[in-house]
Amino acid sequence: MELISRKWLQLYSGRCNPALAKEVTGQLGVELGEANLIDFANGEIGCRLDSSVRGADVFILQSHGRPVNDSIMEQLIMIDAAKRASAKRITAVCPCYGYARQDRKTEGREPITAKLLADLLAAADADRIISVDLHAGQIQGFFDGPVDHLTAMPVFVDWLRARACDGLVVVAPDAGRVKAAERFAQHLKADLAFVHKRHRFGVANVVEARAVVGEIQGRTCVVVDDMIDTAGTLCAAAEILKTHGAAKVLAVATHGVLSGHALERLESSPISTVAITDTLPLPDGPVTSKLRVLSVATILAKAIRAVFEDSSVSEIFGGENQP
């Protein structure tokens, strides 16, 4: 008996960011599968995939957005459902990877929760991971299987070029983002600067911007970061840039977490425009007029197609997709 094998792609989404999933499937030209997710009375989550995935290349797309723990459990449960339904390969697509800032111990008796999440995805039987702009490159090493790291930099570079002006300076809000800011500066043919900041010992989400390294007097500055959570880092950087003579401050960040009073902080800050991507949905309620949301659906669709076709993901970004 001879059997000619065939491949087919199926994509399912959790409930965190269905709009992004629909846009991705539209770019891929496939139907978005129905996971039939439900909440039981006690808060447990149920799932039943709507069609057979036996032998399929299954992609489970879920951003780890609020409520973060529920979003993670939804993805784990969908992966388990696909595994038990005999999917040939399962890829966890995490546009925003949860717990990414807990990637190391900064004080004694702390967890490394980014590694714990990697272990949970592996235990659920995800064969590979796709994510966008991980907070730290070392997170890739937490997985024993393949990790495809994507970057939203091409989306932001195109957006910034449309607003290009003479004397642009790309600014890293802290020393950890200098490498990413340098790549932006090379593409935009701009100068580079960075803000020296420090976190208050033992206090979460509180930062102090202390100095600027680089020439910014009378120039347009664009602050580049991977996420905006409470907007404390970003607003502190913008204020010190203005204090040191910046003519205008823009900001770009991949993940718009926007917790607490972040939107109010951005509205009252010296920043003129803030561009984020749709890796996470916007919080409920009114948003600041300074906010611009750019889509990463094309980048995700290209990466998913490359994984499905067993072609190179790095070639999509010219090899510049490593954090």
Contact 272, 93 (CB under 8 A): no
Q: Rounded CA gap, 117 and 111, in Å? A: 11
Residue 323 lies in a domain: no
On whether both 71 and 127 belong to a single domain, the answer is yes
Look at residues 69, 58, 74 and name the one whose alpha carbon lies nearest to residue 14.
74
pTM value?
0.93
* CA pair distance 276, 130, nearest whole angstrom: 19
Q: Which of 197, 242, 290, 302 is catalytic?
A: 197
- Euclidean distance between CA atoms 252 and 296, whole angstroms: 14
Q: Which residues pair with 32 in a beta bridge?
A: 11
- Residues of the domain holding 255: 153-294
- Does residue 211 form part of some domain? yes
| Dihedral (Cα; 101, 148, 313, 15), 10-degree rounding | -80
Q: pLDDT truncated to tens, each residue of the chain (323 aa)?
A: 676 677 899 999 999 999 999 999 999 999 999 999 999 999 999 999 999 999 999 999 999 999 999 999 999 999 999 999 999 999 999 999 999 999 999 889 999 999 999 999 999 999 999 999 999 989 999 999 999 999 999 999 999 998 867 789 999 988 788 999 999 999 999 999 988 866 555 555 555 556 888 899 999 999 999 999 999 889 989 999 999 999 999 999 999 999 999 999 999 999 999 999 999 999 988 889 999 999 999 999 999 999 999 999 999 998 888 76
Q: What is the CATH number of the domain that holds 256?
A: 3.40.50.2020
197 given a catalytic annotation: yes
Distance of CA 26 to the CA centre of its chain: 20
Cα–Cα distance for residue pair 204/154, rounded to 1 Å: 31
Residues 59 and 177 occupy one common structural domain: no
